[in-house]
């Protein structure tokens, strides 16, 4: 099942993992230290981040190395741009309402 990008980042532990991966590819052991939870928990969060497209994994001998993929972040940027535009429009309407109010005769 495709997980919504916002849902994927809604969890603070997953955000800590993503923040850590911004510095580059890392093995799961490093991420356990950053996340502050047991490795099984980190693995579960990594699986969710993989399923939502945020994280890629490649084997390196005995290790598994995790890294960020750019695509979901582009999606989030697009989504946030749309969201911001919605609010910019709302504040435009706020300004229009203010103008109308100023032009209306004073009730006092």
Query: Which residues lie near other proteins (CB under 8 A)?
Result: 2, 4-6, 9-10, 15, 18-19, 22, 71, 73-80, 82-84, 86-91, 93-98, 100-102
Q: Are 67 and 21 in contact (CB under 8 A)?
A: yes
Q: Give whichever of 59 and 87 is closer to other proteins, judged by the CB atom.
A: 87
Q: Give whichever of 12 and 59 is closer to other proteins, judged by the CB atom.
A: 12
- What is the nearest approach in angstroms of other proteins to the Cβ of residue 67? 14
- What is the nearest approach in angstroms of other proteins to the Cβ of residue 43? 20
The DSSP H or E segment spanning 61 is: none
- What is the nearest approach in angstroms of other proteins to the Cβ of residue 75? 5
Number of other CB atoms surrounding residue 51 within 10 Å:
13
Q: Give whichever of 63 and 81 is closer to other proteins, judged by the CB atom.
A: 81
Cα separation, 57 vs 50, in Å, equals 8
Q: Are 77 and 83 in contact (CB under 8 A)?
A: no
Q: Give whichever of 33 and 83 is closer to other proteins, judged by the CB atom.
A: 83
Closest of 49, 2, 60 to residue 21, by C-alpha: 49
């Amino acid at each position: 099942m495709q997980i919504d990008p916002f849902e994927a980042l809604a969890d603070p532990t997953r955000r800590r993992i993503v923040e850590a991966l911004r510095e580059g590819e890392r093995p799961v052991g490093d991420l356990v230290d950053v996340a502050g939870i047991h490795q099984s928990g980190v693995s579960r969060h990594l699986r969710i981040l993989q399923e939502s497209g945020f994280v890629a994994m490649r084997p390196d001998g005995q290790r598994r190395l995790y890294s960020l993929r750019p695509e979901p972040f582009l999606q989030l940027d697009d989504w946030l741009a749309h969201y911001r535009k919605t609010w910019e429009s709302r504040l435009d309407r706020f300004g229009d309402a203010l103008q109308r109010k100023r032009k209306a005769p004073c009730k006092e």
